[in-house]
Amino acid sequence: MKKQNTTYYICLFVAGIIFSSCAKDPKIIVEPDAYVLNVPSGFALPNIPNDNPLTAAKIGLGKKLFYEKALSVDSTISCGTCHKQEFAFSDNVAITAGVEGRLGFRNAPTLTNIAWATEMLMDGGNPTLETQVYVPIETHFEMDFNMVLLVNRLNADAEYVDAFNNVFGSNPDPFGITRALAAFERTIISGNSRFDQYYYQGKTEVLNEQEINGMQLFFSPTLKCASCHTGYLFTDFTYQNNGFFADYSADSGRARITLLSEDVGKFKVPTLRNIALTGPYMHNGQINSLEEIIDSYSNGGSGHINQSELIQGFVLTAQEKENLILFLNTLTDNQFIHNPDLGED
Please name each of the domains of the chain with its CATH number: 54-190 (1.10.760.10), 194-335 (1.10.760.10)
Q: What is the pLDDT of residues 70-116, one digit of tens each?
A: 999 999 999 999 999 999 999 999 999 999 999 999 999 999 999 99
For the chain, what is the mean pLDDT? Answer: 91
Task: Give the model's confidence band at 204: pLDDT under 50 very low, under 70 low, under 90 confident, else very high.
Answer: very high
Q: Of the ranges 10-14, 85-89, 178-182, 341-345, which one carries the lowest mean pLDDT score?
A: 10-14
The closest of 285, 289, 288, 291 to 267, measured between CA atoms, is: 285
Over residues 270-297, the pLDDT tens digits come to 999 999 999 999 999 999 999 999 999 9
Burial label, 147 (beta-carbon count in 10 A; 0-12, 13-18, 19+): middle
Confidence class for position 43, pLDDT limits 50, 70, 90: very high
Predicted structure pTM score:
0.89
For 263-285, the DSSP string reads GTTBEEPPP-TTGGGS-SBSTTS
Confidence of residue 31 (pLDDT cuts 50, 70, 90): very low
Looking at residue 35, what is its pLDDT?
Answer: 87
DSSP 201: S
AA identity, residue 83? H
pLDDT at 78: 98
197: confidence class by pLDDT, cuts 50, 70, 90 = very high
* pLDDT computed for residue 11 by the predictor: 38
Q: With bands split at pLDDT 50, 70 and 90, how would you rate the model's confidence at 206?
A: very high
Instruction: State the average pLDDT over residues 312-340.
Output: 97
Burial zone of 106 (CB within 10 Å; 0-12 exposed, 13-18 middle, 19+ buried): buried
Span of 15-19, 102-106, 224-228 with lowest mean pLDDT = 15-19
Report long-range pairs for 137-143 (Cβ below 8 Å, ≥24 apart).
137/71, 137/72, 139/98, 139/104, 140/98, 140/102, 141/98, 141/102, 141/103, 141/104, 142/72, 142/77, 142/82, 142/98, 142/99, 142/102, 142/104, 143/71, 143/72, 143/73, 143/77, 143/98, 143/99
**How large is the average pLDDT for residues 227-240?**
97
Share of the chain above pLDDT 90, in %: 89
SS3 157: coil
Q: Residue 6 and residue 14: Cα distance in Å, rounded?
A: 25
